[in-house]
């Protein structure tokens, strides 16, 4: 059964499928004459000014326990995020250990950190966070974390800098005490076993202004379900079905989907560890907060994958009434798309596959996305990369930084005090990008520690991209990179290296479709989108809920 037959059998109508670099240009496809309904055209036009702003609202440094100074953490965040909250560990009302000698260390380790926070640490943290705020350019928020065996760990994200650090007897008690403040209280690493810091869905209340979204992915793993990528490997235990996002959706709950790093080495937004995207009109504190409260959020592991997903004009996070559901979907990735899934009521009802190997694009001038990675050190010492990437002809349309923090959660041998190495994009123009980066040894063959950037270019095939770093110049034509990846050791075999990844033409990184569904399966159906790139980076759009008309 091919995809069209499958969709037809599932009650779906696929009206068009095409690839395009524009998030709004490929509806209806290039292969037929079907046009987007005029009503949907108007709805899409009304949202043309919306933008996606990227942040990390749950990560740690040495304010309590963790590594790296707060100032460096905020500096790292500014290099690749629009907003951020660095998160002190603050509370654990039901901390275990009193009756189990194996866990005695837990009490001392955490309570000492909590004491440091209250002994002047909180006031200093708030002051430095406030100083980092730069309206319109970078927004900073305060937050703090409450552990709980019974209800699962939660992060309180605060709108106002004067929101107090409160004491509590439980997570519900904390939420009740915070009712008078503008605060979101978000569960994270939800997939652990209930009663052992996994999420307790029985405590969830729909339309709770404190809980518009949940954190489904972080360094702990992915809690979309109990299977699939990013298993839970921490010693806190395996993931289970009852804590997962799909379990909560199947209980009929409505909540947004987002990701955070939960990074413990002072690097908010560390590439591959999790980020939140917010669809808002501008980088304004009120507009961003309002968009988050409406669940207009998405989650990514690392790459800033744009998902434009609408049903009858409604956007992710919305609840509508409808009979026929006119579904518009367009995705712009940062690398080769593996597949895009449309999930309805816990079932994958449509899959759009990206090309296994993209066809050679037509024309002499080509738009493509090219990721360049720096790393593969053999020695323990950091490699300091200084230099630039430059085009001989053409234009760099956009740059995405792929900067990682340290992959460990403890200081390394020989380091008396861990210092965060902040990677920076120093300068950029239409023809060059200047970078200052630090790469460390990959800690094992499954954990990357490279730094990188993605260049969105439009350039002639014969034109070259040159990496001029640490006294060496390496050049490849766009045509060569469309044929495959290239690599270069800086000091011979078993030294640090640069990788030019295979260039992804538009047909590989952008895909879109318009579909119709008239099958109301429940009183309220939910639909959401998941995107996987060939390099293992993921994105998820918050569901749209459709009530029976």
- Examine the pLDDT at 542 and tell me if it is beyond 90: yes
- Examine the pLDDT at 27 and tell me if it is beyond 90: no
Task: Summarize the confidence of residues 277-291 as an average pLDDT.
Answer: 97
- Examine the pLDDT at 19 and tell me if it is beyond 90: no
SS3 183: strand
Nearest to 68 by CA among 266, 269, 267, 270: 266
- Examine the pLDDT at 370 and tell me if it is beyond 60: yes
CA distances for 467 relative to 371, 432, 454, angstroms: 12, 10, 13
SS3 314: strand
Nearest to 206 by CA among 295, 275, 310: 295
State the pLDDT confidence band at 239, using cuts at 50, 70 and 90. very high
Report the share of the chain in percent with pLDDT over 90. 83
Please tell me which residue, 47 or 513, carries the higher pLDDT value.
Answer: 513
Residue 8 is predicted with a pLDDT of 43
Residue 97 is predicted with a pLDDT of 83
Q: Where in the chain is the domain with CATH 3.20.20.140?
A: 51-300
How far is 276 from 263, CA to CA, in rounded Å? 14
Task: Summarize the confidence of residues 103-108 as an average pLDDT.
Answer: 89
Helix (H) or strand (E) holding 246: helix 245-250
Give the residue carrying structure tokens 């009712």.
179
- Examine the pLDDT at 242 and tell me if it is beyond 80: yes
Nearest to 438 by CA among 463, 410, 469: 469
Q: Where in the chain is the domain with CATH 2.60.40.1930?
A: 3-49+306-358+509-548
- Our CA dihedral for 231, 304, 408, 223, rounded to 10 degrees, sits at -20
Nearest to 367 by CA among 259, 469, 480, 456: 456
The 10s digit of each residue's pLDDT in 427-485 is 999 999 999 999 999 999 999 999 999 999 999 999 999 999 999 999 999 999 999 99
How far is 469 from 64, CA to CA, in rounded Å? 37
User: 3-49+306-358+509-548 maps to which CATH number?
Assistant: 2.60.40.1930
- Our CA dihedral for 164, 275, 170, 119, rounded to 10 degrees, sits at -40
How far is 367 from 458, CA to CA, in rounded Å? 4
Report the share of the chain in percent with pLDDT over 70. 91
Residue 6 is predicted with a pLDDT of 38
- Examine the pLDDT at 11 and tell me if it is beyond 50: no
- Examine the pLDDT at 270 and tell me if it is beyond 80: yes
Give the residue carrying structure tokens 């996070």.
317
User: 51-300 maps to which CATH number?
Assistant: 3.20.20.140
Residue 16 is predicted with a pLDDT of 37
State the pLDDT confidence band at 13, using cuts at 50, 70 and 90. very low
CA neighbours closer than 13 Å in the CB half-sphere of residue 14 = 21
- Report yes or no: 438 and 383 within 8 Å, Cβ to Cβ: yes
- Examine the pLDDT at 412 and tell me if it is beyond 90: no
pTM attached to this predicted model: 0.93
Residue 37 is predicted with a pLDDT of 63
Dump strand ranges (E) for 303-359.
306-311, 314-315, 319-322, 325-332, 337-344, 347-353
State the pLDDT confidence band at 39, using cuts at 50, 70 and 90. low
SS3 82: coil
- Examine the pLDDT at 14 and tell me if it is beyond 50: no
- Examine the pLDDT at 18 and tell me if it is beyond 50: no
Residue 183 is predicted with a pLDDT of 98
Please tell me which residue, 8 or 32, carries the higher pLDDT value.
Answer: 8
Residues 6+ apart with CB under 8 A from 243: 152, 190, 191, 192, 193, 194, 198, 199, 201, 223
How far is 511 from 468, CA to CA, in rounded Å? 33
In residues, how long is the chain?
Answer: 549
How far is 343 from 346, CA to CA, in rounded Å? 6
- Report yes or no: 364 and 479 within 8 Å, Cβ to Cβ: no
SS3 116: helix
The 10s digit of each residue's pLDDT in 314-345 is 999 999 999 999 999 999 999 999 999 999 99
The 10s digit of each residue's pLDDT in 167-182 is 999 999 999 999 999 9
Nearest to 157 by CA among 172, 141, 173, 169: 141
How far is 92 from 497, CA to CA, in rounded Å? 44
The 10s digit of each residue's pLDDT in 108-138 is 889 999 999 999 899 999 999 999 999 999 9
Residue 42 is predicted with a pLDDT of 62
State the pLDDT confidence band at 223, using cuts at 50, 70 and 90. very high
The 10s digit of each residue's pLDDT in 44-91 is 666 667 899 999 999 999 999 999 999 999 999 999 999 999 999 999
Instruction: Indicate the average pLDDT of the chain.
Output: 91
Burial of 485 (0-12, 13-18, 19+ CB in 10 A): middle
């Amino acid at each position: 059964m091919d995809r069209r037959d499958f969709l037809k059998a599932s009650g779906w109508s696929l009206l068009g499928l095409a690839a395009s670099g524009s998030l709004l240009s490929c509806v209806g496809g290039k292969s037929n004459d079907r046009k987007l309904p005029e009503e949907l055209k108007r709805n899409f036009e009304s949202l043309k000014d919306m933008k996606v702003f990227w942040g990390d609202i749950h990560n740690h440094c040495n304010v309590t326990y963790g590594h790296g100074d707060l100032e460096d953490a905020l500096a790292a965040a500014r290099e690749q995020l629009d907003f951020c909250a660095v998160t002190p560990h603050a509370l654990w009302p039901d901390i275990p250990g009193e009756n189990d000698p194996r866990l005695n260390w837990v009490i001392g380790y955490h309570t000492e950190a909590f004491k440091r926070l209250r002994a002047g640490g909180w006031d200093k943290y708030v002051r430095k966070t406030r100083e980092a705020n730069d309206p319109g350019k970078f927004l900073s928020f305060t937050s703090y974390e409450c552990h709980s065996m019974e209800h699962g760990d939660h992060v309180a994200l605060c709108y106002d800098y004067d929101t107090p650090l409160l004491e509590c007897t439980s997570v519900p008690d904390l939420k009740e005490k915070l009712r008078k403040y503008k605060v979101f209280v978000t569960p994270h690493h939800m997939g652990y076993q209930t009663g052992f810091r996994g999420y307790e869905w029985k405590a969830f209340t729909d339309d709770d202004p404190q809980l518009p979204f949940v954190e489904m992915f972080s360094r702990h793993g992915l809690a979309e379900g109990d299977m699939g990528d990013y298993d839970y490997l921490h010693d806190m235990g395996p993931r289970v079905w009852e804590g997962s996002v799909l379990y909560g959706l199947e209980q009929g709950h409505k909540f947004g989907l987002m990701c955070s790093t939960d990074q413990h080495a002072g690097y908010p937004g560390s590439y591959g560890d999790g980020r939140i995207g917010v669809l808002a009109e501008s980088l304004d504190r009120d507009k961003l907060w309002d968009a988050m409260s409406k669940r207009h959020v998405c989650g990514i592991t690392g790459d800033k994958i744009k998902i434009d997903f609408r049903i009858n004009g409604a956007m992710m996070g919305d609840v509508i009434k409808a009979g026929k559901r006119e579904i518009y979907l367009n995705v712009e990735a940062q690398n080769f798309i593996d597949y895009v899934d449309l999930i309805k009521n816990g079932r994958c009802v449509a899959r759009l596959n990206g090309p296994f190997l993209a066809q050679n694009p037509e024309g002499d001038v080509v738009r493509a996305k090219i990721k360049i990675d720096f790393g593969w050190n053999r020695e323990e010492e950091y490699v300091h990369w200084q230099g630039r990437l430059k085009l001989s002809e053409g234009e760099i349309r956009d740059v995405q930084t792929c900067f990682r923090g340290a992959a460990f959660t403890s200081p390394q041998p020989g380091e008396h005090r861990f210092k965060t190495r902040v990677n920076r994009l120093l300068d950029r123009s239409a023809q060059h990008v200047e970078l200052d980066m630090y790469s460390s040894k990959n800690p094992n063959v499954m954990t990357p520690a490279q730094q990188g950037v993605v260049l969105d270019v439009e350039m002639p095939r014969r034109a070259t991209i040159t990496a001029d770093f640490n006294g060496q110049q390496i050049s490849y034509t766009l045509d060569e990179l469309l044929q495959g990846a290239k690599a270069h050791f800086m000091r011979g075999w078993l030294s640090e290296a640069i990788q030019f990844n295979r260039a992804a033409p538009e047909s590989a990184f952008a895909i879109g479709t318009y579909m119709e569904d008239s099958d109301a399966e429940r009183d309220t159906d939910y639909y959401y989108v998941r995107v996987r790139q060939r390099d293992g980076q993921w994105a998820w759009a918050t569901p749209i809920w459709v009530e029976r008309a």
